Amino acid sequence: MEIGRMNQKIDILGSVTEIDGIGNHRNTWKKLYSVWAQAYMRNSVTASSEETAAGVTKEIQQTVFKVRQSSDTRVLTTTAHRVRFSGLEYDITGIKPDFTKKDYLEIICEVRKAGA
């Protein structure tokens, strides 16, 4: 692995339940930590698509973040974590660890943008 290619800082967000003054529970995303990553499009043909829901066209962009494996990154899940990168919050759709060398893992993410 070439560590010099990990030149993008990403934030790992975790799902947290907050309780307001009158006892209402609300899920929010809070920053847990930051890591250096290599960000790239997974496949130039299928990395971006559009879908229409409720009359609104949305662009779906798929990005892969390659990060070093650590005790923090090995516990990432698709339901309880997100990635913040370049001002956008990405949903994690898959996590692909390297079981052979155990030095990095790939976080496969999607971001949805409302069309103009």
Mean pLDDT in runs of 10 for the chain (116 residues)?
Answer: 82 93 92 94 54 66 91 92 93 91 91 64
pTM of the model: 0.79
Residue whose entry in the numeric block shows the structure tokens 């990635």: 83
Which pLDDT value is given to residue 107? 95
Report whether 92 contacts 76 (CB < 8 A): yes
Report whether 85 contacts 63 (CB < 8 A): yes
CATH no., domain 3-114: 2.40.10.270
Which pLDDT value is given to residue 37? 95
Report whether 33 contacts 68 (CB < 8 A): no
Domain boundaries, the chain: 3-114
